[in-house]
A and B are shown apart, each in its own frame.
Chain A
Amino acid sequence: DSGVTQTPKHLITATGQRVTLRCSPRSGDLSVYWYQQSLDQGLQFLIQYYNGEERAKGNILERFSAQQFPDLHSELNLSSLELGDSALYFCASSAGQGPGEQYFGPGTRLTVT
Protein backbone atom coordinates (compact mmCIF):
# COMPACT_ATOMS: atom_id res chain seq x y z
CA ASP A 1 0.00 0.00 0.00
CA SER A 2 1.61 3.24 -1.22
CA GLY A 3 -0.55 5.48 0.95
CA VAL A 4 -2.02 7.22 -2.11
CA THR A 5 -5.76 6.73 -2.48
CA GLN A 6 -7.87 7.18 -5.57
CA THR A 7 -11.62 7.12 -6.07
CA PRO A 8 -13.54 5.74 -7.78
CA LYS A 9 -11.82 2.50 -8.75
CA HIS A 10 -13.94 2.06 -11.85
CA LEU A 11 -16.04 4.51 -13.84
CA ILE A 12 -18.23 3.80 -16.84
CA THR A 13 -19.77 6.72 -18.66
CA ALA A 14 -21.00 7.79 -22.07
CA THR A 15 -19.39 9.96 -24.70
CA GLY A 16 -19.88 13.65 -24.15
CA GLN A 17 -20.15 13.33 -20.39
CA ARG A 18 -17.96 14.84 -17.67
CA VAL A 19 -16.32 12.97 -14.79
CA THR A 20 -14.18 13.83 -11.78
CA LEU A 21 -11.43 11.61 -10.46
CA ARG A 22 -10.20 12.12 -6.92
CA CYS A 23 -6.79 11.56 -5.33
CA SER A 24 -5.45 11.87 -1.80
CA PRO A 25 -1.65 11.94 -1.56
CA ARG A 26 0.51 10.23 1.04
CA SER A 27 0.56 12.02 4.36
CA GLY A 28 3.08 14.86 4.18
CA ASP A 29 3.50 14.83 0.40
CA LEU A 30 3.02 18.20 -1.24
CA SER A 31 3.21 17.21 -4.91
CA VAL A 32 0.48 15.39 -6.78
CA TYR A 33 0.86 14.05 -10.31
CA TRP A 34 -1.65 12.66 -12.77
CA TYR A 35 -0.76 10.04 -15.40
CA GLN A 36 -2.80 8.33 -18.08
CA GLN A 37 -2.11 4.75 -19.15
CA SER A 38 -3.71 3.65 -22.38
CA LEU A 39 -2.97 0.55 -24.43
CA ASP A 40 -1.32 2.39 -27.30
CA GLN A 41 0.39 5.24 -25.42
CA GLY A 42 1.74 3.66 -22.28
CA LEU A 43 2.10 5.75 -19.12
CA GLN A 44 1.88 9.44 -20.01
CA PHE A 45 2.38 12.37 -17.67
CA LEU A 46 -0.54 14.78 -17.59
CA ILE A 47 0.06 17.39 -14.89
CA GLN A 48 1.79 18.13 -11.57
CA TYR A 49 0.62 20.28 -8.69
CA TYR A 50 2.81 21.34 -5.80
CA ASN A 51 1.20 22.76 -2.68
CA GLY A 52 -1.82 23.97 -4.61
CA GLU A 53 0.04 25.45 -7.58
CA GLU A 54 0.45 23.97 -11.04
CA ARG A 55 4.14 23.05 -11.52
CA ALA A 56 4.43 21.07 -14.72
CA LYS A 57 2.19 20.20 -17.60
CA GLY A 58 2.43 17.32 -20.07
CA ASN A 59 0.29 16.53 -23.08
CA ILE A 60 -2.93 17.18 -21.23
CA LEU A 61 -5.93 17.86 -23.44
CA GLU A 62 -7.78 21.14 -23.10
CA ARG A 63 -10.88 19.11 -22.19
CA PHE A 64 -9.03 17.95 -19.07
CA SER A 65 -8.31 20.09 -16.03
CA ALA A 66 -7.03 19.50 -12.54
CA GLN A 67 -6.67 21.26 -9.25
CA GLN A 68 -5.13 20.70 -5.85
CA PHE A 69 -7.04 21.84 -2.82
CA PRO A 70 -5.76 23.34 0.48
CA ASP A 71 -5.95 19.90 2.14
CA LEU A 72 -3.66 18.72 -0.72
CA HIS A 73 -6.11 16.31 -2.30
CA SER A 74 -6.45 16.66 -6.04
CA GLU A 75 -9.16 16.24 -8.62
CA LEU A 76 -8.85 15.55 -12.32
CA ASN A 77 -11.82 16.69 -14.38
CA LEU A 78 -12.42 15.14 -17.78
CA SER A 79 -15.11 16.68 -19.95
CA SER A 80 -16.68 16.09 -23.37
CA LEU A 81 -15.48 12.54 -23.07
CA GLU A 82 -14.54 10.58 -26.16
CA LEU A 83 -14.06 6.85 -26.67
CA GLY A 84 -10.31 7.42 -26.82
CA ASP A 85 -10.29 8.75 -23.26
CA SER A 86 -10.87 5.24 -21.97
CA ALA A 87 -7.76 4.46 -19.96
CA LEU A 88 -6.32 3.94 -16.52
CA TYR A 89 -5.70 7.20 -14.69
CA PHE A 90 -3.07 7.13 -11.98
CA CYS A 91 -2.33 9.66 -9.33
CA ALA A 92 1.09 9.80 -7.70
CA SER A 93 2.57 11.90 -4.93
CA SER A 94 5.99 12.94 -3.72
CA ALA A 95 7.36 14.96 -0.86
CA GLY A 96 8.93 17.74 -2.89
CA GLN A 97 8.60 19.28 -6.29
CA GLY A 98 11.91 18.16 -7.81
CA PRO A 99 13.48 14.85 -8.83
CA GLY A 100 12.68 11.97 -6.57
CA GLU A 101 10.49 8.97 -6.05
CA GLN A 102 6.82 9.23 -6.85
CA TYR A 103 4.37 6.90 -5.15
CA PHE A 104 1.40 5.77 -7.17
CA GLY A 105 -2.18 5.10 -6.24
CA PRO A 106 -4.15 2.06 -7.46
CA GLY A 107 -5.66 3.98 -10.37
CA THR A 108 -9.12 4.69 -11.74
CA ARG A 109 -10.23 2.70 -14.75
CA LEU A 110 -12.36 4.90 -16.99
CA THR A 111 -14.47 3.32 -19.69
CA VAL A 112 -16.25 5.61 -22.14
CA THR A 113 -19.00 3.92 -24.13
Chain B
Amino acid sequence: RKEVEQDPGPFNVPEGATVAFNCTYSNSASQSFFWYRQDCRKEPKLLMSVYSSGNEDGRFTAQLNRASQYISLLIRDSKLSDSATYLCVVRGGMGYSTLTFGKGTMLLVSP
Protein backbone atom coordinates (compact mmCIF):
# COMPACT_ATOMS: atom_id res chain seq x y z
CA ARG B 1 0.00 0.00 0.00
CA LYS B 2 1.34 3.42 -0.96
CA GLU B 3 2.13 5.70 1.95
CA VAL B 4 0.02 8.67 0.89
CA GLU B 5 -2.59 8.21 -1.80
CA GLN B 6 -4.57 10.80 -3.69
CA ASP B 7 -6.85 10.77 -6.69
CA PRO B 8 -4.73 12.44 -9.40
CA GLY B 9 -7.76 14.03 -11.09
CA PRO B 10 -8.04 16.33 -12.87
CA PHE B 11 -11.12 17.70 -11.21
CA ASN B 12 -12.78 20.07 -13.66
CA VAL B 13 -15.21 22.44 -11.95
CA PRO B 14 -16.87 25.75 -12.87
CA GLU B 15 -16.22 28.93 -10.96
CA GLY B 16 -18.26 29.06 -7.77
CA ALA B 17 -18.44 25.32 -7.34
CA THR B 18 -17.55 23.42 -4.19
CA VAL B 19 -14.99 20.67 -4.59
CA ALA B 20 -13.54 18.15 -2.17
CA PHE B 21 -10.34 16.13 -2.25
CA ASN B 22 -9.50 13.14 -0.12
CA CYS B 23 -6.20 11.62 0.82
CA THR B 24 -5.39 8.40 2.68
CA TYR B 25 -2.19 7.58 4.54
CA SER B 26 -0.85 4.21 5.59
CA ASN B 27 1.31 5.02 8.62
CA SER B 28 -0.84 5.16 11.73
CA ALA B 29 2.07 6.75 13.64
CA SER B 30 1.94 9.88 11.49
CA GLN B 31 2.10 13.04 13.54
CA SER B 32 1.29 16.05 11.37
CA PHE B 33 -0.72 16.65 8.26
CA PHE B 34 -0.72 19.37 5.65
CA TRP B 35 -2.13 20.47 2.35
CA TYR B 36 0.33 22.12 -0.02
CA ARG B 37 -0.50 23.83 -3.26
CA GLN B 38 1.72 23.60 -6.33
CA ASP B 39 1.28 25.68 -9.45
CA CYS B 40 2.62 24.29 -12.70
CA ARG B 41 6.43 24.02 -12.62
CA LYS B 42 6.61 26.04 -9.40
CA GLU B 43 7.59 25.14 -5.88
CA PRO B 44 5.02 23.73 -3.45
CA LYS B 45 3.67 26.17 -0.90
CA LEU B 46 1.85 25.47 2.32
CA LEU B 47 -1.89 25.94 1.97
CA MET B 48 -2.86 24.87 5.46
CA SER B 49 -2.03 22.51 8.26
CA VAL B 50 -4.66 19.96 9.25
CA TYR B 51 -5.63 19.71 12.88
CA SER B 52 -7.44 16.89 14.64
CA SER B 53 -10.51 19.01 15.28
CA GLY B 54 -10.66 20.24 11.70
CA ASN B 55 -9.84 23.77 10.66
CA GLU B 56 -10.97 26.41 8.26
CA ASP B 57 -9.18 29.20 6.45
CA GLY B 58 -11.52 31.33 4.42
CA ARG B 59 -12.94 29.18 1.64
CA PHE B 60 -10.80 26.21 2.59
CA THR B 61 -11.70 23.57 5.17
CA ALA B 62 -9.48 20.68 6.18
CA GLN B 63 -10.54 17.60 8.12
CA LEU B 64 -8.58 14.74 9.65
CA ASN B 65 -9.95 11.31 10.48
CA ARG B 66 -7.26 9.41 12.38
CA ALA B 67 -9.35 6.28 12.83
CA SER B 68 -9.81 5.89 9.08
CA GLN B 69 -6.48 7.49 8.24
CA TYR B 70 -7.73 10.02 5.78
CA ILE B 71 -7.51 13.75 5.28
CA SER B 72 -9.84 15.93 3.29
CA LEU B 73 -9.77 19.39 1.76
CA LEU B 74 -12.94 21.27 0.85
CA ILE B 75 -12.82 24.34 -1.35
CA ARG B 76 -15.96 26.46 -1.49
CA ASP B 77 -16.80 29.09 -4.11
CA SER B 78 -13.94 28.02 -6.41
CA LYS B 79 -11.97 30.75 -8.15
CA LEU B 80 -10.01 30.55 -11.38
CA SER B 81 -6.90 31.18 -9.29
CA ASP B 82 -7.54 27.96 -7.34
CA SER B 83 -6.44 25.97 -10.39
CA ALA B 84 -3.36 24.09 -9.22
CA THR B 85 -2.22 20.73 -7.93
CA TYR B 86 -2.98 20.03 -4.27
CA LEU B 87 -0.51 17.87 -2.41
CA CYS B 88 -1.43 15.91 0.67
CA VAL B 89 1.59 15.75 3.00
CA VAL B 90 2.13 13.67 6.09
CA ARG B 91 4.91 13.95 8.67
CA GLY B 92 6.03 11.32 11.10
CA GLY B 93 6.72 7.66 11.40
CA MET B 94 10.37 6.64 11.40
CA GLY B 95 11.73 10.16 11.43
CA TYR B 96 9.61 12.91 12.85
CA SER B 97 10.99 15.39 10.37
CA THR B 98 10.38 13.21 7.35
CA LEU B 99 7.62 14.43 5.10
CA THR B 100 5.85 12.06 2.75
CA PHE B 101 4.07 13.65 -0.19
CA GLY B 102 1.12 12.36 -2.10
CA LYS B 103 1.37 12.67 -5.87
CA GLY B 104 -1.19 15.42 -5.88
CA THR B 105 -4.68 16.13 -7.16
CA MET B 106 -5.05 18.51 -10.07
CA LEU B 107 -7.86 21.06 -9.95
CA LEU B 108 -8.97 23.01 -13.00
CA VAL B 109 -11.50 25.78 -12.44
CA SER B 110 -13.14 27.11 -15.58
CA PRO B 111 -15.13 30.31 -16.20
Does A associate with B in a complex? no
Which residues of chain B have a CB within 8 Å of any CB of chain A?
none
